[in-house]
A and B are shown apart, each in its own frame.
Chain A
Amino acid sequence: MKFSKQAGALSLTAAAALVIVACGGSSSGSASTINGSGSTFAAPIYQQWGATTKTDDSLTVNYQGVGSGQGISELTSGTVDFAGSDPPMTDEELAAASKKSAPLHFPTALGAITISYNVSGVATGLKLDGATLAQIFLGKVSTWNDPAIAAQNPGVTLPSNPITVVHRSDSSGTTKGFTGYLTAVDPNWSSEVGKGKTVKWPTGTGAKGNDGVAAAVKQTPNSVGYVEQAYALQNKFTVASVKNAAGSYVEPTLASTTAAGQGTTVPADLRFTISNPSDPAAYPITSQTFVVAYTDACKAGFTEQVAKGIKTFLTYGLGAGQDALAQLNYAKLPADINSKATAQLSKLVCNGKAL
């Protein structure tokens, strides 16, 4: 008798719990949600845009910064609705994803990859050129007062402490942008390490995400790492002035980032990469970032609401959203690239039907 009373009470509680969960879980009619993941470089942008679309268009955008590589994997496997990726997809990645529907690349912003360092007594603006950076990240230049660094910075007292290099441990578009720059400026780098979202780093500690590298640089004295500008500013890092292709040492600012975008050749599918730009005012380590979404989201397995949500999000981002970029310390897209991207918006369909 006692047992059956207890059993009865237990099953009633379980039933009540199920009912509560079921009621709470149903989504409301008009508000929609889209999920994205990928680039930590651009995470602050999409989170900001999402906050605006939530109030203006009842569109909730959930974005997780997990690294460009994982973002593309998740888009290909259908876990997320759109991916954030700094480098455009490679041909192999494109072929794999095209099985569902052809992915489209929408550039959203340009950002600087800063060389952030934490050396006591050394103010911001330490001058470094590409060859020296390559030697530091190869581990060949291992102390701060090495002649290669001292020669470019007369009058700066550099300590004799060893340099601790911090790099990414996850698959990262920021890494591809940075290693792409090093490959362009140093032939040693391309033969020893190469470029890519993950590379075999000869030296240094790995941290997860741009935020991880920022935290590691902040906590480790005498360290240097490559960090997207927004994170560098948030942590009030001292950043290096890097020598660009035209020969001048440029600090990463909005103006120098925008200058880097000038004169980039953009193919028809918008899969462009900025590499060691030639503009004299350009900051040389600049990266573009994309939102990658399927042309036909419904064919790829998503609902029409999601397809519409993606289009709303991108329309805002390429329009009014560009003005929000300055506050976040990203550079706007050059006008010609923006118009090409906006024109591409009309290609987004649902099962062949326009949205």
Chain B
Amino acid sequence: MLERSPMARLPDQALRWILTALSFGILLLLVYFFGKLSLESVDVFQHQGILSFAFSNDWNPSQSQFGGLALLFGSVATALIALVIGVPIAVATAVFIVELCPSRLRSPLTILVELLAAVPSVVYGLWGVFFLIPRLRPFEQWAADTFSFLPWVGGPVAGPSYFIAGLILAIMIIPVVSAISREVISTVPTDHKEAALALGATRWEMIRTAILPYSRSGISGAAMLGLGRALGETIAVTLVIGNAAVIGHQIFDQGYSLAAVIANEFGEASAVPLYSSALFACGLLLFIVTLVVNGLARYIVSLGDIERRVERARRSERKSAAAPGGAA
């Protein structure tokens, strides 16, 4: 081993310091954002009360009323619609790419799906306003009239709505959910798949019994990440949700979301301290909801992590073997 002088070790030390500083910096930034948002929201929480802000339905800034339930509802409703529409499509795409696709097409198809993520969200919003809304209106009206026995379906169709916002969000989360699902599905051991096929399962049965159960937690984690993305999406939603601070009763009603209210109203809020405090509080609420959802996603993904599963199985085997009476 060559002896090196202490001076030669300096770059190593510097590297360690810089990387540590950067990592701490990111952590500090997160804490700073949370702290700053909370600090700025104190005014409106004192005026309105935290629970009233989050759970009362009366967004009336000109009268200094800041009940944000309609906003929270809009954010959650559009994100849920995005999940219901987007996740099945994303998982189907992932299954197709891994299992059914000719190997020549695999790479181009993967790239195309990921390109969906490259489209700026404002472009999605623009496309939604000028193309999707007018073209879908007859279909939506037909669906509202025919399926009015279903809950939340029915009523007049004006154009912008929770449904359109959810649809656009679904398109935006497909790349994320599809990429993660693809990774998870490709880790299914070949012997599981071959065992199913050897027992006489058709392709679909093999997918249903060998692949999907195995990747269930990974796909759930992917869906949760997609949900996190959909909750925070701003400009695309602002353009197509209808900007009405009410809780809609049908998916074709207009609504509002936490992110959209900030984008629309920050300009005039800048001169009124209580109003800008309310918008900060909206941001805080969104931040918290997104953090919770992301944390949940990580936990669920970790539940399905192979090494952990094997570890858990081994642990429970050891426990049952060590129990008095001992299994055979």
Task: Give residues in A with beta carbon < 8 Å to B.
Answer: 66-67, 69-70, 72-74, 76-77, 93, 96, 162, 164, 169-171, 194, 196-201, 203-208, 215-216, 219-220, 223
Q: Does B25 make an interface contact (CB < 8 A)?
A: no
Supply 18 A–B pairs (Cβ within 8 Å), ascending by A. Answer: A70-B268, A70-B270, A73-B271, A96-B271, A164-B156, A169-B264, A170-B265, A170-B267, A198-B61, A199-B62, A200-B59, A205-B243, A205-B254, A206-B242, A206-B243, A207-B243, A208-B243, A220-B158
- Residues on B lying within 8 angstroms of A by beta carbon are 59-63, 129, 133-134, 156, 158-160, 242-245, 254, 264-265, 267-271
- Chain A's closest residue to B60 (CB) is A200
Question: With A205-B158, A205-B254 in contact, is A169–B243 under 8 Å at CB?
Answer: yes
Bound complex: CA A244 to CA B285 (Å): 47
In the complex, what residues of B have CB within 8 A of residue A93's CB?
271
In the complex, what residues of A have CB within 8 A of residue B62's CB? Answer: 194, 196-200
B244 lies within 8 A of A205 (CB)? yes
Alpha-carbon separation in the docked complex, A198 to B245 (Å): 12
Least Cβ–Cβ distance between A41 and chain B, in angstroms: 15
Query: Does B245 lie within 8 Å of A197, measured CB to CB?
Result: no
Q: Is the CB of B156 within 8 A of A69?
A: no
Say whether B264 contacts A208, CB under 8 Å.
yes
User: Main SS of the interface on chain B?
Assistant: mixed
Asked whether, in the complex, the Cβ of B159 is within 8 Å of the Cβ of A70, the reply is no
Pairwise interchain contact B133-A219, C-beta atoms closer than 8 A: yes
Give the most central of A201, A203, A205, A207: most B CB within 10 Å. A205
Give Cα A283–Cα B299 distance, bound, in whole angstroms.
64
CB-defined contacts of A96 to chain B, threshold 8 Å? 271
**Count: A-B pairs, CB below 8 Å:** 75
Q: In the complex, which of the residues B242, B243, B244, B267 contacts A69, with contact meaning CB atoms closer than 8 Å?
A: B267
Cα distance, A77 to B272, chains bound together (Å): 11
Chain B positions within 8 Å of A69 at CB level: 267-268
B114 CB, nearest partner CB in chain A, Å: 30
Report chain B residues within 8 Å CB of A171: 265, 267-268
Contact (Cβ within 8 A) A70 B267: yes
CB distance from A251 to the nearest CB of B (A): 27
Q: Are B244 and A201 in contact (CB under 8 A)?
A: yes
Q: A77, B244: Cβ atoms under 8 Å?
A: no
Since A74-B270, A205-B254 are in contact, a sample of 16 more A-B pairs with Cβ atoms closer than 8 Å, ordered by chain A residue number, is A70-B268, A72-B271, A73-B267, A73-B271, A77-B270, A96-B271, A164-B156, A170-B268, A171-B267, A198-B268, A200-B63, A201-B244, A204-B254, A205-B160, A215-B129, A220-B159
- Contact indicator B267/A67 (Cβ below 8 Å): yes
Docked CA distance A169–B270 (Å): 16
Task: Give, as a whole number of angstroms, the nearest-CB distance from B235 to chain A.
Answer: 12
Q: Are A170 and B244 in contact (CB under 8 A)?
A: no
Bound together, the chains give a CA A326 to CA B270 distance in angstroms of 35
Q: How many whole Å from A227's CB to the nearest CB in chain B?
A: 16
- CA A201 to CA B59, docked complex, whole Å: 10
Given A198-B62, A219-B159, A223-B158, do A205 and B270 touch, yes or no (CB 8 Å)? no
Give CA–CA (A214, B37) in the complex, Å.
36
* Complex interface: chain B residues within 8 A of A216 (CB): 159
Would you call A164 and B267 a contact (CB within 8 A)?
no
Chain A residues whose C-beta falls within 8 Å of the C-beta of B60 in the assembled complex = 200
Which chain A residues lie closer than 8 Å to B242 at the CB level? Answer: 205-206
B158 and A200 contact, CB distance less than 8 A: no
In this complex, what residue of B is CB-closest to A215?
B129
- Give the contacting residue for B158; candidates A76, A164, A196; CB below 8 A: A164
Note all chain A residues with C-beta closer than 8 A to B271: 72-73, 76-77, 93, 96
Nearest A-chain residue to B256, judged by Cβ: A206
Question: Which are the 6 A-B pairs with shortest beta-carbon distances?
Answer: A206-B243, A70-B267, A73-B271, A169-B243, A69-B268, A171-B268
Q: Are B264 and A204 in contact (CB under 8 A)?
A: no
A162 B243 Cβ-Cβ under 8 A: no
Chain B residues within an 8 Å CB radius of A73:
267-271
- Whether B244 and A204, one on each chain, are in contact in the complex, defined by CB atoms closer than 8 angstroms, is yes
Do the beta carbons of B254 and A66 come within 8 Å of each other?
no
Q: How far is the CB of B66 from chain A (nearest CB, A)?
A: 12
Cα distance A200–B244 in the bound complex, in angstroms: 9
A202 nearest CB neighbor, chain B only: B246
Write out the residue numbers on chain A whose beta carbons fall within 8 Å of the beta carbon of B243: 169, 205-208
| Min C-beta distance of B148 to chain A, whole Å | 14
| Residues on the A chain within 8 Å of B244, using CB | 201, 203-206
B245 / chain A contacts, CB cutoff of 8 Å: 200
Alpha-carbon distance between A7 and B51 when the two chains are bound, in angstroms: 56
Q: State the CA gap A108–B244 with chains docked (Å).
A: 32
B326 to chain A, nearest CB (A): 65
Min C-beta distance of A177 to chain B, whole Å: 15
- Chain B residues lying within 8 Å of A205, measured Cβ to Cβ, are 158-160, 242-244, 254
In the bound complex, residues from chain B placing their C-beta under 8 Å from that of A194 are 62
Distance A208 CA – B240 CA, assembled complex (angstroms): 12
For residue A315, give the distance in angstroms from its CB to the closest CB of chain B. 29
Q: In this complex, what residue of B is CB-closest to A199?
A: B62
Assess the A66–B156 pair: CB atoms within 8 A.
no
Give the distance in Å from the alpha carbon of A207 to the alpha carbon of B256 in the complex. 12
Cα–Cα distance between A203 and B267 once the two chains are bound (Å): 23
| Complex alpha-carbon distance, A219 and B269, angstroms | 30
In the bound assembly, the distance between CA atoms of A162 and B156 in angstroms comes to: 7
Chain B residues closer than 8 Å to A208, beta-carbon distance: 243, 264
Give the docked Cα–Cα distance between A215 and B268 (Å). Answer: 22
Closest to B276 in A: A73
A240 to B126, CA, bound (A): 30
